[in-house]
Amino acid sequence: MKSEPRFSGFPRECVKFYRELKANNSKSWFTEHKDEYNEYVLEPARLFVVEMGERLRALSPAIQADPRIDKSIFRIFRDTRFSKDKSPYKTHLGIWFWEGSGDRMECSGFYMHVEPPNLMLAAGLYRFPAHVVDEYRHSVVDGVHGVALEKAVRAVTRNPDCRVGKESFKRVPRGFDPDHKRANYLRHDTLYCWTESRIPKELYSETALDYCFREFRSFLPLHEWLVELIARSES
């Protein structure tokens, strides 16, 4: 009986594909190299999603890892309708693991972003859905939830390379104390943490799973705080 294929790393041709795509971002070039995209990008990405999903569910049993395009694997085609940049293709690989019953992009989750020469790993919520904003702001100033947020941020930033973002507003929203000790968080309309580095050698072998999982596990406190926040906003 033939065994199922296992993730053995992203081949160097995956990184080479994105470098060349950045220099040749056109439909004709992509069509000519589509087989390379399927073999060197999509195939290992699907295996990575399956195996990383298994590991992440050991931390958060409800994590969703779906190796389809527009699920855990972001589509390569750019939405150019409202952009001055009409380049048709994204020059990075994005992989997303999310937790929650809502739309995948309205949930907190873990993210991998390969864009030569860098690798970024992140966790959190890229933009607060409308129904979460009010609950978030009241949680920030709450004596229990706000303290838990501070604790989560301290936990993830024990890694000196980890950053937390980001303050999007210049002023604290109306109705909240601009001198509150957590006023900086009130200026957020998103909350996530991330690390970024040059692509490590681990990416090219099965040890990419260990490398990424270590980072994701260190992000867990902020992810858990956000999961609880979203659950409160929906109750």
Domains of the chain: 12-234 (3.30.930)
Closest CA to 87 of 29, 17, 127: 29
- The pLDDT confidence band at residue 1, using thresholds 50, 70 and 90, is low
The model's confidence at residue 2, banded by pLDDT at 50, 70 and 90, is: low
pLDDT digit string (tens) for 161-190? 999 988 889 899 999 999 999 999 999 999
Residue 166 phi, psi (nearest 5): -145, 155
Find the largest Cα–Cα distance for the chain. Answer: 66
Nearest to 113 by CA among 34, 48, 160: 48
Which amino acid is located at 121 in the chain?
A: L
> Considering only CA atoms, which of 228, 109, 113, 219 is closest in space to residue 157?
219
- 90-111: average pLDDT: 96
User: What pLDDT, on a 0 to 100 scale, did the predictor assign at position 101?
Assistant: 86
Residue pLDDT, tens place only, 20-63: 999 999 999 999 999 999 999 999 999 999 999 999 999 999 99
**Residue 42 per-residue DSSP state:** I
Sorted by sequence, the CB contacts under 8 Å of residue 107 that are 6+ apart come out as 98, 99, 100, 125, 227, 230
pLDDT tens digit sequence for 118-148: 999 999 999 999 999 999 999 999 999 999 9
Helix axes 207-234, 130-141, angle to 10 degrees: 90
**Per-residue pLDDT at 229:** 97
Question: pTM for this structure?
Answer: 0.95
DSSP state of 104: G
Which position has the higher pLDDT, 84 or 226?
226
